[in-house]
Amino acid sequence: MSQGAVADFGLIGLAVMGQNLILNAADHGFTVCAYNRTVSKVEHFLNNEAKGKSIVGATSIEDFIKKLKRPRKIMLLVKAGKPVDYIINDLLPHLEKGDIIIDGGNSHFPDTNRRYEELSAKGILFVGSGVSGGEDGARYGPSLMPGGAEEAWPHIKEIFQSIAAKSDGEPCCDWVGPAGAGHYVKMVHNGIEYGDMQLICEAYDIMKRIGRFTDKEISEVFATWNKGVLDSFLIEITRDILAYDDVDGKPLVEKILDTAGQKGTGKWTAINALDLGMPVTLIGEAVFARCLSALKKERVLASKHLTGPEIPEDAVKDKKQFVDDLEQALYASKIISYAQGFMLIGEAAKTYGWKLNNPAIALMWRGGCIIRSVFLGEITKAYRENPDLENLLLHRFFADAVIKAQQGWRKTVGLATTYGVPTPTFSTALAFYDGYRSARLPANLLQAQRDYFGAHTFRVLPEEASETLPVDKDIHINWTGHGGNVSSTTYDA
Ligand code: NBP
């Protein structure tokens, strides 16, 4: 192993992500120092994958620090949670003011906020960076979403933008914003990923159960869709998964237990949406769909007791029209999901006092990551035209697309409902669309109910104001004649 401060960049954590990111950085001309808690993995890495590349190894934290050029740039790619704190604590006694620690794991943004505060107080520049793209992305170009101490950005910009994926020649990496903003944006990215995946699964289920398509036929539909507006990584892998046969010549996917796992980032997004009061319904439904899938035993039992409509063999008369409608349903629902995701990001910026860069966020997701798609190019364009766009659905391109798609979308949701095929994300997207475009919703009645049983008060429509119903005043009515006239300030229902 070489001596002295030779490395431009240090990386701790030699599991799948860390090793591949180091190789990627070395390919781009940077000298990287590698370290891992289980030190034997360093030696193994140097003698195998890293052989012949500009990669050095360290046998201890002290040795690691000595090998880094100042200011030290140290990236952690270890299991999220306590391990990140343990390593930071091990590093701290050896660092100087101005050194940079980057957490590239899937950390929850409140943890990143806390680490940012604690390390800022010690003069250490802390960056929380979303990294997406899995093993392949880390090796050949991930999407990188860094946020935190902005003074760190000029020092890491070159390496980050060199190793990141490129979309039309532009790096899918830019500065996101302060404190935990990078990990926040990665969290929403993962939430959107949950939504995209569930939408695709519903499309597959509709084709299978109502259209009676074989897996090969469904694969062909996805192949066609991948050449149009839905062109994306997830559609592409779905095409390949459905075409993949087991050794007996039968589709492997049909042998997989229908119980979805989850690591929590979708749930974090849904919880945060509830905390911020944002109707991010599609991600919420996608998380709940995984929860319902996990109740396999109960579902099998229920399937024997709870009946639904029969699906006749000829439920689909015009297969081409059926597939076209489904494509429109998927496209429109996806637009709703991204509009909801950006609504959440916008609200987070306001609530947490972050200045976020929407066009850069869309560009970061355009390539390298799991939700990469041609469609994100349109979102980047929309936010570049108007970075303060109130809502993606109010941009002409997306408004026109949804309006045009709605006929097929409504037919698809109607068909699924008629034949009892569950479409939680298609349906919630449509309900959101209809709610969002309604100048008047039935919340007037809801306010009346709240006032009736809890004296929660209501406001009147300006055009209906009168002497007894004054405008801009909280009004309580004695609805029954025997209640009191005191309004409530405490009980919320
Ligand atoms: P893992 O999440 O499997 O973590 C393994 C690494 O963490 C090993 O280097 C291990 O060291 C280290 N580690 C653990 Br476990 N506990 C430690 C501790 N107490 N102190 C020091 N090191 C500790 O690795 P990964 O799949 O490469 O993911 C790395 C990060 O990137 C995670 O946060 C993950 O969520 C995120 N991420 C992963 C992907 C993906 O596709 N895998 C994609 C995007 C982001 P050891 O060798 O000594 O056990």
- Report how far ligand 1's centroid is from the alpha carbon of 82 (Å): 11
Looking at ligand 1, which residue's alpha carbon is closest to its atom 31? 105
Looking at ligand 1, which residue's alpha carbon is closest to its atom 15? 79
357 known member of a binding site: no
Catalytic residue positions?
A: 186, 193
- Sign of the CA dihedral running 145, 147, 153, 155: negative
106 known member of a binding site: yes
Please state the atom number of ligand 1 nearest to the C-alpha of residue 132: 44
Nearest to 146 by CA among 73, 195, 211, 215: 73
Reading the chain (493 residues) residue by residue, the pLDDT tens digits are 446 899 999 999 999 999 999 999 999 999 999 999 999 999 999 999 999 999 999 999 999 999 999 999 999 999 999 999 999 999 999 999 999 999 999 999 999 999 999 999 999 999 999 999 999 999 999 999 999 999 999 999 999 999 999 999 999 999 999 999 999 999 999 999 999 999 999 999 999 999 999 999 999 999 999 999 999 999 999 999 999 999 999 999 999 999 998 888 999 999 999 999 999 999 999 999 999 999 999 999 999 999 999 999 999 999 999 999 999 999 999 999 999 999 999 999 999 999 998 999 999 999 999 999 999 999 999 999 998 899 999 999 999 999 999 999 999 999 999 999 999 999 999 999 999 999 999 999 999 999 999 999 999 999 999 999 999 999 999 999 886 777 776 555 5
211 known member of a binding site: no
- Report how far ligand 1's centroid is from the alpha carbon of 146 (Å): 18
Is the shortest distance between the CB of 80 and ligand 1 below 6 Å?
yes
Is the shortest distance between the CB of 15 and ligand 1 below 6 Å?
yes
413 known member of a binding site: no
Please state the atom number of ligand 1 nearest to the C-alpha of residue 134: 41
Tokens for 76, please give them.
């952690």
- Report how far ligand 1's centroid is from the alpha carbon of 491 (Å): 45
- Report how far ligand 1's centroid is from the alpha carbon of 455 (Å): 53
Nearest to 365 by CA among 150, 219, 182, 214: 182
Looking at ligand 1, which residue's alpha carbon is closest to its atom 30? 105
Looking at ligand 1, which residue's alpha carbon is closest to its atom 4? 79
Tokens for 195, please give them.
């939504």
The string of DSSP codes covering 165-224 is -EETTEESB----STTHHHHHHHHHHHHHHHHHHHHHHHHHHHHHTS---HHHHHHHHHH
17 known member of a binding site: yes
* Number of continuous H segments (helices) and E segments (strands) in the chain: 19, 9
Nearest to 281 by CA among 346, 199, 395: 199
Distant-in-sequence, close-in-space partners of 227: CB < 8 Å, separation ≥ 6: none
- Report how far ligand 1's centroid is from the alpha carbon of 15 (Å): 6
How many of the other CB atoms lie within 10 Å of CB of 317?
7
Ligand 1 test: best mutation among 36, 61, 78, 115, most atoms within 8 Å of CB? Answer: 78
Looking at ligand 1, which residue's alpha carbon is closest to its atom 1? 79
